[in-house]
Structure 1
Amino acid sequence: MENEKICVLIAGTGGGGTGMELIKSFKMAKHEYKIVATDMWENSFGLMETPYRYVIPTASSPEYVDSLIKICKKENVQAIATGSEPELKKVAQNSKIFEENGVKVLLNSWETIQKCTDKFRLTKILKSLNIPCPDFFLYEKEGDLSKIKTFPVVIKPRVGGGSQNVFLAMNEEEAQFFTKYLQKYGFDPLVQEYVGDYNNEYTIGILYADDGKLLTSIAMKRLLESGLSTRQTIIKSNKKYVISSGISQGLIDDFKGIQEMSIKIASGLDINGPVNIQCRKTDDGIIPFEINPRFSGTTSPRSLVGLNEPDIFCRYKLFNEIPAKTDYKYGYVVRGLVEKFIDLNETKNIPRI
């Protein structure tokens, strides 16, 4: 069975997201995969990467899970992974349904995902583990901004993942604007200390399952001079402040202390799958500021240097297989844009389920 082609479904395969990271990684695997791609858009980049493709309802649709189950049965899918936040949540919430239909879910539990995507709750857990964290507080009313000790600060939704709706406020006026902006659109704003220097930012991938029975770690020191890897950049008094995007590039090397801290975090959060940790190295130590319990925008660069997290986790879930070696190459991984032409007739022929 281990030598047969494994069928894996990637739900959510837009060009700039985690779905494409997964597709690229499974294509790089030593073992050949049959990749089934689904998306809500017929012109999704990822749908053009495999002949097994379907347009399905949005993750918020009542038909979403049924559509995926139908595809899993039709294509004999053995494992499913997700490429977007809405689909991550919906598949995790319904993981039992997939498992009952013989499909392994390549995600953390819904309980773990909830714990990690609530940034306020997560930071309190990290403090209980004696992990240094940025100062933070929940913004509820105007007077709360008096709690800010120094500017700039990072303002983000309490619940969420990635760099969406994350803002850098350089003064109280901007902090007031961004907190009100998030509240206007239904978010609970979290105000977080801006820590460290952008030249010392790292992104770390940990695979941690069954109390460390499966364990891999890899770290990248990020290059944040490129517009591709930055979401917001502000220069004030000759100092540069940066909010990174989800598109990582940089140096993969042996960053032992940072990787050890990340393993401690994964263990303390009861991770049972992939987790991505962003941190900065400061005079006060290594400080994590973002944790996402899923595969990330650095998944394919990690596969490129020899640590293929999706392949490793899929084979572990299906066959209880643990790789004998998890070493990888050291060096820089840089990225660019890739264009793809999609014929109109091709999109019309994609099945809708």
Structure 2
Amino acid sequence: MMKNGRILITSVGSLVGWAVTAALRPLRSRLIVIGCNTLAAAPTVFDCDRVYRVPKTSDTQVYREVLRAIVLREQPDLIIPGRDEELAVLSKFSTDRVWSATRVLAPPPKLVPVFNDKLETARFAARHALPFAATAYEPEEIATLIEVHGFPLVVKPRVGGHASKGVRIVASSAQLRAALATGDMLVQECLNPGTLSGLDGFLSEAGAPLYYAVRDLRHAAEWLLDDAGEILSLQGVISHTEGPQAMHMRLTDDAALVEVATDYARALAKAGHRGVANIQGKQLADGRFVPFELNGRFTGSAVARAYMGCNQVAQAVCHFLWREPYANAPLYPDTTALKLSIFRGVDQTAIDVLETNGFWSADGTGGTVNPIDAS
């Protein structure tokens, strides 16, 4: 009888962590799920069999030591990252002999900047003749971008800015100067601004609204590359978004989106990437698809695709753990996945145990664990 696979999900309390654990439900009886998270009071951490509370990823050295100790203790077969900030740490660990028996779904070290540094993403696209939103970093490049594309423009942190944090849409030179002064920022053309709504509702002279989100229509595609660099799965979606959140989503096989996603997948495979990646972007008025972002992990919409018959999380686990195909349900192209925010009851004792001891297990075993001492 085949033993249960052991999976470690980092940042399991995040939106991506929730999506991954939810998408794993069809395989749950065959898995031991281990999680780690910074916060104890996150409901999805208690969907794991065992979970550890870890330092913030910004405390890089301490986080690295704790994560390494958890891997030594738990010996996972597969690690699935929940946040972009973890890719660099996991990528370096994947070359560590201690991790030789563990498969890490993270890009190789040389490709981490391509996923996490938006300027490097644009440069990668340019080197491979792939479409990407026009991007400028140096002052003279920004001046040219304004001359060619005009306003509005999008200002983003060069590194970070995940889940749209720190991202701004600017409509004038004064707003652009103010946005650039907030950090190490770059500027992108605003693709098909006609799909945006809600910008007129924000008037800075009237004060900051308590609740505010720009709505948009976006296209995205996520794919899996097997160990030979071949495309194991590729699926496109159309999303109606509010701020960083996809509120409505449906599948699409739009030819322009699929072609661009396939070209990105092949270019990344040639550069050494294996596992999961995705692009997000917009369809232009002339039908072309142009990305504005590239990610090297599953997204929070992974579970929405699973609901519609394309469970790429389960596909990845079956392929990389057991070398077997996953029997997806038939695709439901006429189904729309709707986002629902709900409350969930969690035993306060479980939260207290994880907060105090740094470890919790569903079977109540394990006691107090200091992962740093576990090595």
Aligned to 1:68: 67
Q: Which structure 2 residues correspond to residues 131-142 of structure 1 after superposition, within 5 A?
A: 131-140=130-139
**Equivalent position of 2:220 in the other structure:** 203
Q: Is the 8 A contact 1:139 1:191 kept in 2?
A: no
Secondary structure of the equivalent of 2:80?
strand
Q: Which runs of 5+ in 1 are unaligned?
A: 225-229, 232-244
- Where do residues 175-324 of structure 1 align in structure 2 (5 Å cutoff)? 175-182=176-183, 187=184, 189-196=185-192, 197-198=194-195, 200-224=217-241, 230-231=242-243, 245-247=244-246, 249-270=248-269, 271-284=273-286, 285-323=288-326
| Count of aligned pairs between the two proteins | 327
1:349 is aligned to 2:325: no
How far, CA to CA, are the matches of 2:319 and 2:260 in structure 1? 24
Alpha-carbon spacing, 1:147–1:67, altered in 2? closer, same or farther (3 Å): closer
1:336 pairs with one of 333, 336, 340: 340
User: What is the alpha-carbon distance in structure 2 between the residues aligned to residue 314 and residue 209 of structure 1?
Assistant: 11
Distance 1:262 1:7, change over 3 A: same
SS at match of 1:77: coil
**Aligned twin of 1:114:** 113
Gaps of 5+ in 2: 196-215, 359-370
Question: Are the equivalent residues in 1 in contact too, given 2:87–2:107 (CA < 8 A)?
Answer: no
Matched with 2:205 is none
Deviation at 1:105, TM superposition (A): 0.8
Pick closer, same or farther for the CA change 1:248–1:85 going to 2, 3 Å: farther
Equivalent position amino acid for 1:261 in 2: V
Task: Give matches, 1:91-106, under 5 Å.
Answer: 91-97=90-96, 100=99, 102-106=101-105
Offset at residue 203 of structure 1 (A):
1.5
In structure 2, relative to structure 1, the CA distance for the partners of 1:191 and 1:303 (3 Å cut) is same
Superposed displacement of residue 27, structure 1: 1.9
Moved over 4 A (4+): 143-147, 322-327
* 1:172-221 CA distance string (max 9 Å, x none): 11111111112xxxx2x111100114365212111123454342111111
Q: Aligned to 2:177, what secondary structure does the other structure show?
A: helix
Checking the alignment, whether the CA contact within 8 Å between 1:107 and 1:273 is kept in structure 2 is yes
Query: If the length of structure 2 is used for normalisation, what is the TM-score?
Result: 0.78
**How far off its partner does 1:115 sit?**
1.7
SS at match of 2:305: helix
Aligned to 1:238: none
- Structure 1: distance between partners of 2:93 and 2:119: 25
Deviations 1:87-118 (A, max 9, x none): 23211222123763522112222222212222
Equivalent pair of 2:220/2:257 in contact (CA under 8 Å): no
Measure the CA separation in 2 of the matches of 1:209 and 1:164.
Answer: 32
- Aligned AA (2:337): V
For the Cα contact (< 8 Å) 1:5–1:32, is it kept in 2? yes
Distance 1:282 1:211, change over 3 A: farther
Q: Determine what percentage of the aligned residue pairs are the same residue.
A: 19
Q: Is the 8 A contact 2:8 2:34 kept in 1?
A: yes
1:156, CA displacement in angstroms? Answer: 0.4
Aligned to 2:35, what secondary structure does the other structure show? strand
Distance (whole Å) between structure 1 residues aligned to residue 68 and residue 135 of structure 2: 41
Matched-pair contact (CA < 8 Å) for 2:239–2:247? yes
Q: Following TM superposition, by how much is the alpha carbon of 1:169 offset from its aligned partner in structure 2, in angstroms? A: 0.4
Q: Is the 8 A contact 1:223 1:251 kept in 2?
A: no
Deviation at 1:77, TM superposition (A): 2.0
Rate the CA distance shift 1:48–1:215 in 2: closer, same or farther, 3 A. same
**Distance 1:181-1:67 versus aligned 2 partners, 3 A rule:** closer
Q: CA deviation at 1:322?
A: 4.3
Deviates more, 1:103-112 or 1:203-212: 203-212
Whether 1:174 aligns to 2:155 is no
Q: Which amino acid aligns with 1:50?
A: C
Quote how far apart the aligned CAs of 1:52 are: 1.3
